[in-house]
Amino acid sequence: MDTRARAFAHFKKVDTRFHKAVLPHLSALPKELASRRTRAELFASLASTVISQQLGTAAADTIRDRVKKACGGKLTPEAIKRAKPATLRAAGLSGAKLKTLQSLAEVVSTGKIDLLALAKMSQETAKSRLTEIWGVGPWSAEMFLMFALGLPDVFSPGDLGLARSIEAIYGLPKNAPREQLLEISNRWIPYRTFAALALWQARDAK
């Protein structure tokens, strides 16, 4: 049985309301979570996440492509450090995101943080190390744990898409407290990443 199937079997057992709501989207989800295997891939993924903060998918993709072009085609610490700040700003980066990418490039290139080593740490320790980087907040760290490291049990209570989906499924008022969202998500342990993927898919299918 693949991990997706195990996750949905778990949802059916512990939260039938949630299972019924997301079951139509099962086939759209991956059977296994992908993970980035090299330091270069992990850096590019985290840099892309930083660029995507508070942006829609289309805008994030456009700016990421422009930043990559400004960096010579690849998001690497060396390329970001070489690129002129004005060029990166012209590509669409805000001042804060530029500073975050520069901080990320610095801590990775100097070895202050080893992104590959995060996979061997507990989720909370890895998240703590990531949020020590200037401008990397909980959301960015959680997206990295989900999509770069491929951890199966990550939830992001600050993600508006997840919040809106949960509110719709459970009939909650808009802007329900994060503590309430976390309490609901705890039912889905140890498959909260798959639950998040299902919630995003349910939102996008509307």
Of the residues 147, 162, 177, which one is the last residue of a structural domain?
147
- For the chain, the average pLDDT equals 93
Nearest-angstrom CA–CA distance, 36 and 39: 8
Residue 36 in this model has a pLDDT that exceeds 90: no
Of residues 2, 15, 65, 159, which has the active-site annotation?
159
Nearest-angstrom CA–CA distance, 98 and 85: 7
Whether residue 50 is found in the same domain as residue 119: yes
- How many CB atoms sit inside 10 A of residue 107's CB? 18
Whether residue 57 is found in the same domain as residue 26: no
Mean pLDDT of 91-112: 95
Residue 205 in this model has a pLDDT that exceeds 80: no
Residue 37 in this model has a pLDDT that exceeds 90: no
- Residue 61 annotated as catalytic: no
pLDDT of residue 2: 94
pLDDT digits (tens, 9 = 90+) for 16-31: 999 999 999 999 999 9
Percent of the chain with pLDDT over 70: 100
Please give the residue range of the domain that contains residue 123. 39-147
Q: How far is CA 45 from CA 36, 148, 200, in A?
A: 8, 6, 19
CA dihedral 132, 56, 27, 199 (to 10 degrees): 60
Name the residue with tokens 């700003």: 89
Mean pLDDT of 63-90: 94
Residue 57 in this model has a pLDDT that exceeds 90: no
Whether residue 141 is found in the same domain as residue 162: no
Q: What is the CATH number for 171?
A: 1.10.1670.40
Q: How far is CA 87 from CA 57, 68, 80, 94, 128, in A?
A: 22, 11, 11, 12, 31
Residue 206 in this model has a pLDDT that exceeds 70: no
Buried b (16+ CB within 10 A) or exposed e, 119-137: beeeeeebbebbbebebbe
pLDDT digits (tens, 9 = 90+) for 139-176: 999 999 999 999 999 999 999 999 999 999 999 999 99
**Lowest mean per-residue pLDDT among 29-43, 77-91, 187-201:** 29-43
Q: What is the CATH number for 105?
A: 1.10.340.30
Whether residue 47 is found in the same domain as residue 142: yes
Whether residue 44 is found in the same domain as residue 95: yes
| Nearest CA among 47, 1, 14, 72 for reference residue 190 | 14
Number of domains in the chain: 2
Whether residue 84 is found in the same domain as residue 138: yes
